[in-house]
Amino acid sequence: EYWEWVRTYSSPEYLAIPALKEAMFDKLAAGEDKARLQRLYRRAMRLEASFFSAQPHPPPPRRPAALLTDFDGTCSPAGADSSGAILALAEQAAGGGRPTAGDAAWAARTRAALAAGYQRQYEQLVGPLVGPAEGPAPQSDPAGVAALLERLSEFDEEMNRRVEEAGILKGSTPEEVCAAGSAVPLRPHCREALRAALDRGIPVHVVSVNWSDLLLRAALRLPARRG
């Protein structure tokens, strides 16, 4: 089954092999002509693609019901914390003498408390549904997916409400929020992948710990939400 295949190729034992291969190829390729290596690499990739497309009964094309992705560590590089942009906005507003809910130190404490609460409740919501890495493959459940997306939407609205009540963005203008979002680093082709899904009519749901819909949309170059 596909689940066994996925489990094998995601195991720590297998994931150690690519690093060994890279080291071996780096050693063997030292001093070789770069153009020749590129030709060999392209040929290897074409052969790899041909191998997987040679199965006699390819599965019929399927249209995903939805695309659900986490922003932090998935769209953004590992280790990047997009909620840091929220803190920077709060510090900017506090340092500019605007009417804010607190100073920079207050913003840092509030941001940490909000992040901890978000992470705790997110794990409580998603953890039981995802289950452990080991074990049987999850069964396809379109109704369950729809229910999960509905709960995630409600969760996102609740987290945004808490941020608004905390006042951490008080004093920041929409233009500043958009500018901060545009500066958030993303993984290569992230925006293109999400845009391709939207262009095909596939609903896209992005979950993030930074709580700002406007900031996320600016980071992903998505249109602002209406209403």
- Identify the pLDDT of residue 100: 63
Q: Which residues pair with 180 in a beta bridge?
A: none
| Site of tokens 């958030």 | 184
In this predicted structure, what is the pLDDT of residue 2? 64
* DSSP code at position 69: E
DSSP of 156-196: HHHHHHHHHHHTTTTT--HHHHHHHHHTS---TTHHHHHHH
- From residue 53, how far is each of 5, 6, 41 by CA, in Å? 17, 18, 18
Residue 63, phi then psi, degrees to nearest 5: -100, 120
Mean pLDDT of the 145-157 span: 78
Q: Looking at per-residue confidence, does 100 or 49 come out higher? A: 49
Least confident segment among 44-48, 103-107, 141-145, 163-167: 141-145
Residue pair 110/102 in contact by the 8 Å Cβ criterion: yes
The answer, as to whether pTM is greater than 0.75, is no
Selected residue with higher pLDDT from 185 and 81: 185
State what percent of residues in the chain have pLDDT above 90: 5
Rounded CA-CA distance 75/55 in Å is: 32
Q: How many other C-beta atoms are found inside a 10 Å radius of the C-beta of residue 77? A: 14
CB 43 within 8 A of CB 35: no
Give residue 134's pLDDT: 57
Residue 165 banded pLDDT, cuts 50, 70, 90:
confident
